[in-house]
Amino acid sequence: MKNTPGKILVTGGAGFVGSHLCKYFLDSGHEVICLDDLSTGRKENIAPLLDNKNFEFVNQDITKPLEISKKIGQIFNFACPASPPRYQKDPAQTLKTSILGSLNILELARKNNARILQASTSEVYGDPRVHPQPETYWGNVNPIGVRSCYDEGKRAAETLFFDYNRKYGTDIRVVRIFNTYGPNMDPGDGRVVSNFITQALENKDLTIYGDGSQTRSFQYIDDLVGGIVKMMDNKNNFSGPVNLGTPDEFSVKELAEIILEMIPESKSEIVYRDLPQDDPKQRKPDISLAKKELGWEPKVKLEEGLKKTIEYFRKAINE
C-alpha cells in the first residue's frame, strides 16, 4: 500500500474481511479508522488492534449520516452482512446498507476527494448461465427471491459507484469477491466453510443442501487482501469491476470430504437437506482481467488455507 494523504477508513472493519484489511494497513504503518455497528462484525476480530495508537474504532451504522471530521485518504466499503442467514434475517436493512450506505460513503469520498473501493460480490452473477463468470456477464438474478436483498443491493451499489464516477469524477474501484475463507470468520455465520469446520469439530453431521454437486471456488483471505490492495493501488486508473477469486473449483460434497479428512478425530457424517431457493449451481471466476490489469492471481491452495482456518476454529470454539 503506497503512502496516501489522510487516514484509511474501513467500513465493516470488524467483520471477517474488514478486520484483515485493518490489520494489514496498520502493519504497513497507516492510520486506520474502523467503522462498524457490530451487527455482524465482532469486537474480538479487532481486539488485538485496539491498543494501537494508529487505530480508531467508530461504532456506527453506515445507513446513518456519517460525521467523520478527520481527513480521509482512502475508503474501503465492506459494510454489509455477507452470509445468507445473516443478510436474510433483516432483508430491508441489508438493502439499506448496500444502497443508503453506499450513498453516505460516496458522499464522504466526495467531501474528502478520497479514492473509494466497493466490496461487491460474485452474487451479482446470481445463478449463472455462463461458466466461468467474466466481468462482462450481466448475471441471472431473481429480483424477488430470498437472496435478492443482497444480490440486488450489491448490484445497485455498483450502479451508484459508477454513477458517482461519471457525474462527479469520484475515484472508484470495484471488486467482485468470490467465496473467501480464513481466520476471523464467525463460526456461526452459516457459510459453507465455517459450517462444515464447526460441525466436524463438534462431531455434528455435516449438512449439505441439495446433492452436493453444486460447485464453489474457495479463496484464502490472504490472497483476497493482496488482490484488494493491488486493485486500490493500480496505476492505470482501472476502476473495475474485477473478479477476485480462485479458479480452482470444488463441489460442496468434495469440500465436506476434504474437511473430514483434515479432522480425522471427527465422528461426523454427511447428511443431505433440501436445496434453498436460488442457490447457485456453479460459481467460478474468470480472473483473466485481474491477471492482466493487476498482475494478481491466488497462491494459497485449499488444503493449506483450510489447515490454518481449522486451527483458528479449534481455538475459537474452545474459548
Distance CA 302, CA 281 (A): 20
Q: How far apart are CA 67 and CA 70, in angstroms?
A: 9
Catalytic residue from among 24, 87, 125, 150: 150
β-pairing verdict for 180-181 and 72-77: unpaired
What is the rounded distance in angstroms from the CA atom of residue 307 to the CA atom of residue 196?
Answer: 13
What's CA 245's distance to the chain center, in Å?
11
Instruction: Reply yes or no on whether 24 is catalytic.
Output: no
Q: Let me know the angle formed at the C-alpha of 208 by 204 and 211, rounded to the nearest 5 degrees.
A: 145
CB 131 within 8 A of CB 284: yes
Bridge partners (DSSP) of residue 118 are 77, 174
Q: How many residues does the chain have?
A: 319
- Burial of 193 (C-beta count, 10 Å sphere; 0-12/13-18/19+): buried
Q: Which residue has the cell 488482490?
A: 227
Backbone angles phi, psi at 287, to 5 degrees: -105, 20
Active site residues: 150
